[in-house]
C-alpha cells in the first residue's frame, strides 16, 4: 500500500499540470500550425492582383477617383509624397484631388511585386503629364507600396514616392 502511494505521488509530480492558460496556448499553437499547413493561394494570381491594383492606382490618380483610395488604402495608411510630405489616407486623397493640377496622362510601369505571406511589396515607375498652375509639366517617380492581405483583399498600408530628375513641383 505504501509503495502504491509513493508511485502515485511520483506520477502526480512528474505529470504536467494543466492550467486554463496552457489550454489557450495549445489552441493558439494548433491554430498557427493549421494556418501554416493550409495550401497557400496561387502566387502568380496574387502577384497579378497587386500589379492590377498598381495600374488602377495610377488610373485613379488620373481621374481623381477618391472612391478607389477609400476602398484600397487602409484607414491607418501613412505615406510620404515625392516632396517629402507625410500624409495619411485623407490628406493623400486631398493631394490626388488638388484643384490646381489637371492630369493629361498618368501611368504605372515597370511594376515589380514581392510577396511575403500576407504582405506584398510593389515598386513601380509613375509617369505623368499635367498642367500645374497653368504650366505644362511632365515627371516620373519611383513608387513603393506595401500591401497587407486581409479578408477584404489587399490594402495599401504605406507608400513612398521619390521624384526622378528633372525635378518639378507637383502635388504627389
Residue 22 confidence (pLDDT): 75
Percent of the chain with pLDDT over 90: 69
Nearby residues of 152 by Cβ (< 8 Å), 6 or more positions away: none
Count the residues in the chain: 172
* Burial environment of residue 135 by CB neighbours within 10 A (0 to 12, 13 to 18, 19 or more): exposed
Backbone angles phi, psi at 18, to 5 degrees: -100, 125
Residue 27 confidence (pLDDT): 78
Kindly tell me if the per-residue pLDDT of 37 is higher than 90. no
52-85: pLDDT as tens digits: 999 999 999 999 999 999 999 999 999 999 999 9
For the chain, what is the radius of gyration of the CA atoms? Answer: 26
Kindly tell me if the per-residue pLDDT of 145 is higher than 60. yes
Cβ–Cβ < 8 Å for 141, 163: yes
Kindly tell me if the per-residue pLDDT of 32 is higher than 60. yes
Kindly tell me if the per-residue pLDDT of 49 is higher than 60. yes
Percent of the chain with pLDDT over 70: 78
Residue 107 confidence (pLDDT): 98
76-109: pLDDT as tens digits: 999 999 999 999 999 999 999 999 999 999 999 9
- Per the DSSP assignment, residues forming a β-bridge with 136 are 131
Kindly tell me if the per-residue pLDDT of 159 is higher than 70. yes
Confidence band for 30, pLDDT divided at 50, 70 and 90: confident
DSSP string for residues in 18-72: P-HHHHHHHHHHHHHHHHHHSPPPPHHHHHHHHHHHHHHHHHHHHHT-HHHHHHH
Residue that has been written with the C-alpha cell 496622362 in this structure: 105
User: Per the omega criterion (within 30 degrees of 0), is the bond before 60 cis?
Assistant: no
Kindly tell me if the per-residue pLDDT of 3 is higher than 70. no
What span, in angstroms and rounded, lies between the C-alpha atoms of 125 and 152? Answer: 26
Amino acid at each position: 500500500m505504501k509503495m502504491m502511494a509513493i508511485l502515485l505521488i511520483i506520477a502526480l509530480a512528474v505529470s504536467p499540470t494543466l492550467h486554463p492558460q496552457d489550454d489557450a496556448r495549445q489552441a493558439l499553437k494548433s491554430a498557427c500550425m493549421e494556418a501554416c499547413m493550409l495550401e497557400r493561394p496561387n502566387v502568380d494570381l496574387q502577384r497579378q492582383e497587386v500589379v492590377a491594383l498598381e495600374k488602377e492606382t495610377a488610373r485613379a490618380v488620373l481621374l481623381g477617383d477618391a472612391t478607389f483610395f477609400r476602398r484600397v488604402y487602409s484607414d491607418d495608411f501613412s505615406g510620404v509624397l515625392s516632396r517629402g510630405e507625410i500624409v495619411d489616407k485623407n490628406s493623400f486623397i486631398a493631394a490626388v484631388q488638388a484643384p490646381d493640377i489637371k492630369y493629361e496622362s498618368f501611368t504605372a510601369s515597370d511594376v515589380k511585386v514581392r510577396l511575403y505571406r500576407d504582405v506584398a511589396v510593389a515598386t513601380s515607375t509613375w509617369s505623368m503629364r499635367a498642367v500645374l498652375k497653368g504650366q505644362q509639366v511632365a515627371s516620373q517617380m519611383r513608387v513603393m507600396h506595401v500591401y497587407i492581405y486581409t479578408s477584404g483583399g489587399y490594402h495599401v498600408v504605406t507608400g513612398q514616392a521619390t521624384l526622378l530628375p528633372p525635378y518639378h513641383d507637383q502635388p504627389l
